[in-house]
A and B are shown apart, each in its own frame.
Chain A
Amino acid sequence: MSFFAGARRFIVCCAIAYVLLKALFLTGLATQYVEQIVLYALVMIIASLGLNVIYGYTGQFSLGHAAFYGIGAYASALLTHVFAIDSVPLFLPVLLVAGLFTAAVGGLIGLPILKLRDDFLAIATLGFGMLVRTLLDNSDRVADLLGGSRGFIGIPRITSLELVFGVMAVLIPVTRNLIFSRYGLFWQCIKDDELASTAFGIDTGRMKSMAFTYGCFLAGVAGGLYAHLYTFLHPSNFDFLKSVDFLIIVIVGGMGSITGTIIAGLLWVGFIEGLRIVLPSGMLELRWVFIPIFLIILMMLRPYGLIHRTESRLLGIGRK
């Protein structure tokens, strides 16, 4: 399978990480709380990777990524309910379908709005995010199960360490291969200078749409994993602030770097949860005061994020 040949190293790293973590959890050295947080971090990484493809590589500023994450979550939960699925092997096709559905929605929405320039695209995606939020809030008018603002209850807990690592072991090499293929090259060209790319004969419209669609696919899959981890969905989980979460991970980790996204995802979730432990409860609200300041300073000093366009060869992501 030449497809996986280049990713062999990465899969080995995944396996090692998995074994280590599993050992930690099984022996009780780390509690279920830690396990939950680790799984959540990995899910966030997959979703943020989608945003990285859309924005970090192709330069399309999307402020509505959480909407696609939500669509994937709701779609997958609906499917598991309708088909009464509760085991991992049967869940995989559900995840795939949810991802594809989200990608389709992304592609459809992309048709009109991807032609827009940065700032207008930002507002358009922001608007789309709010539109989806309104739809989710009213979703119980369509199907009582979806719950609307009462939330979607009773999703089976299928997400596990094995499943998440398995998904990552597939999706990250796929993303990596896409990035290193000519599509990835085109994406980065478009980010650098769209006009020049068109002059070179790159079909920018199609390439942008492709990046956007693939990014939404990743978001949808992550959403599906999230739904079956927390077993409960509420529209307020998928608002603008969540989109900002993904954006921060992509920016901090570094635009155009898969490794950066992975590291930033882990750091970010760890930081947020860590603050819960460290900060006295009176100071918790300062979190969201310092985060934007940090963001502003980051933009002034390192506008491309911490790790820009380099991949770790150690982890098997970088090119040999």
Chain B
Amino acid sequence: MMRKTLLIALSLFVLASIPAQAKQTVRIGLIAPLTGDVKTFGESSRNAFIMAVDDYSRTGKYAITPIVVDDRNDPTEGANGALKLVTQDKALAFVGPLTSKVSIPVSEIATQYKAPMVTEAATNPKVTVYNGKRKPYVFRACFIDPFQGRVAAAFALDNLKVKSAAVLYDVGNDYSRGLAEVFKATFEKGGGAILAYESYQKDDVDFSALATKVHLRKPDLVFIPDYYNKAGLIVRQLREKAVKAAVIGTDGWDSPDLVKIAGSTIIGGYFTNHYSPERKDPVAQRFIKRYKDKHGEVPDALAALTYDAAMILLEALDRAATPAAEPLRKSLEGLKDFHGVTGTISFDKNGDAVKSAVILRVEKDGFRYVATVKP
């Protein structure tokens, strides 16, 4: 009898002491478009997220349970998924969503339920700020549209020394629109003339009419802020209609498929981006190599950004006093000079990333680094 009680007491003591040595579990979510029209971006995002969690768990303070939620690139699904993540799955914080249109309603949920969120690629300013008020729990690891658009316009005016430009953008894509507007405003303010400001629709494939129109107006430069698949198609058709202008794009161009789709027509084009795979930076190189070994392809900008967003969140978690919402938020708020894959990142007062942009030039065998533009 005595021995049995002693045995029970001993085992209870052992059991009670074990949690103190094992890591505490924290649930971190990822909201990404795993299905839907941008599912390839969603998959890059997920790969990078899982990799970040793996890398963190080697040295991190907590044991992370990753929870991946699919938003189908749809605001309603994103909102439902975020709500489930925060209330049902009891996640502490999450990375994502990927696009602005899903991030805006999800940011409302993050604010309402006090779950810190770090989006890796939503570039609309309205994600972190609404009506002049900052949303305290929302952060982003990428620069915002106004910055990128300005960079492109400044590069066009100052470096390429062009006097006139045409802008072609996708009216149904807020990313494309936002950039087009900022480019136009900056370009005109800098003394340039916008000779054509044309919109098209997401499903448009035939750009012969627009290309002929651009050919008529004869601008020095054409600005195409859209994803690589559209940009490639447009540039090809521009060249077919003998448009000789230089072309410049934005981070959506970053994909190994850009040259495949556009062929040789896009060689010599420029685009703004978050980072260059050529960056002689150990953190970036290590990430690229690991990703390539694990998934068999060079990571695209989305993967790099997600990795950074996840690491920002996880390292902030380590720095926070306790694994709870408010300490985590405070820890994120003061982020300074985070050494990420896509550059050195600090958060400004709106929770937006302050980081440099790079200009890349499209060459036959890849993208060549041209310049860095500091914020």
Contacts and interface: CB of A to CB of B under 8 A. Distances in A.
Interface string B22-56: 00000000000011000100000010000000000
A30 to B, nearest CB: 9
B167 to A, nearest CB: 16
Interface string B153-184: 00000000000000000011110011000000
B174 A153 contact: no
Contact of A151 (B68, B81, B83, B101): B101
B88 A150 contact: no
Contacts of A230: 75-76, 79, 105
A31 B83 CA distance: 9
A232 B35 contact: no
Nearest to B131: A154
Interface string A30-63: 0111101100100000000000000000000000
A116 interface: no
A134 B131 CA distance: 27
Contacts of B174: 148-151
Contact of B88 (A34, A148, A149): A34
B172 A151 contact: no
A198 interface: no
B75 A36 contact: no
B80 interface: yes
A281 B86 CA distance: 18
A260 interface: no
B115 to A, nearest CB: 12
B35 A36 contact: no
Interface stretch (A121-129, A211-219, A234-242): A234-242
Interface in A262-288: 273, 276-277, 281, 284-285, 287-288
B124 interface: yes
B74 A236 contact: yes
B104 interface: yes
Contacts of B39: 285
Interface string A280-309: 010011011000000000000000000000
B289 to A, nearest CB: 25
Nearest to B46: A281
B326 interface: no
B75 A232 contact: yes
Given A148-B171, A150-B178, A281 B81 contact: no
Contacts of A276: 69-70, 80-81, 84
Given A151-B104, A232-B104, A284-B35, A273 B178 contact: no
A149 B171 contact: yes
A278 to B, nearest CB: 13
B70 to A, nearest CB: 5
Interface of B: 34-35, 39, 46, 68-70, 74-76, 79-81, 83-84, 86-88, 100-101, 104-105, 108, 113, 124, 126, 130-131, 171-174, 177-178, 201
Given A149-B177, A150-B101, A230-B76, 4 more contacts: A40-B80, A149-B172, A150-B126, A232-B75
Interface of A: 31-34, 36-37, 40, 134, 137-138, 148-151, 153-154, 230-237, 273, 276-277, 281, 284-285, 287-288
23 contacts: A32-B87, A33-B83, A33-B87, A34-B88, A36-B79, A36-B83, A40-B76, A148-B174, A148-B177, A149-B172, A149-B173, A150-B124, A151-B101, A153-B126, A154-B130, A232-B105, A233-B75, A234-B101, A236-B74, A276-B69, A285-B35, A285-B39, A287-B35
Which 4 pairs between the two chains have the least Cβ-Cβ distance? A232-B105, A31-B87, A150-B174, A33-B84
